[in-house]
């Protein structure tokens, strides 16, 4: 006749064996894990950044249209009234135009590059 204690011990041993099997399989999976290469890591980073930027633009669209853009327009108009302070910023892609930005309000100005 099997006692209750013996039954419990058998169940406990079976549970421990199952846990050991699961842990062993997890360890084997970790050892066999195939890691991403640099290009895959970079692609995932870019994808994640694009998703974040898309969400940020979506989130800020209403604010920009109602508050930010009209306020920036007023600020730039005020700066234009007293005179922008432009400094060189960059060339366009084909280097046919210079791009200047106001140091204070960020307004842009494009000029043809005489050096060609």
Phi-psi region of 95 (alpha: psi -120 to 50; beta: other; left: phi over 0): left
Residue closest to 61 by CA, chosen among 69, 73, 49: 69
pLDDT band at 17 (very low <50, low <70, confident <90, very high): confident
List the domain boundaries for the chain: 44-83, 85-116
Q: In whole angstroms, give the CA distance from residue 86 to residue 24.
A: 67
What would the pLDDT profile of 47-72 be if each residue is shown by its tens digit?
A: 999 999 999 999 999 999 999 999 99
Beta-carbon neighbour count of residue 108 at 10 Å? 12
- Give the whole-angstrom CA distance, residue 6 versus residue 21: 23
pLDDT digits over 73-107, tens only? Answer: 999 999 999 999 988 887 776 666 788 899 989 89
The pTM assigned to this predicted structure is 0.53
32-46 mean pLDDT: 82
State the pLDDT at residue 71.
Answer: 96
| C-beta separation of 107 from 82 below 8 A | no
């Amino acid at each position: 006749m099997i006692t209750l204690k013996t039954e419990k011990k058998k169940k406990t041993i079976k549970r421990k064996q199952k846990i050991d099997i699961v842990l062993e399989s997890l360890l084997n999976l970790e050892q066999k894990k195939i890691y991403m290469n640099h290009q895959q890591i970079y692609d995932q980073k870019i994808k994640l950044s694009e998703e974040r930027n898309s969400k940020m633009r979506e989130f800020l669209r209403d604010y920009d249209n109602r508050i930010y853009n009209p306020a920036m327009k007023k600020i730039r108009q005020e700066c234009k009234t007293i005179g922008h302070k432009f400094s060189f910023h960059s060339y366009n892609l084909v280097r046919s135009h210079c791009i200047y930005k106001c140091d204070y309000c960020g307004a842009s100005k494009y000029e043809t590059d005489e050096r060609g």
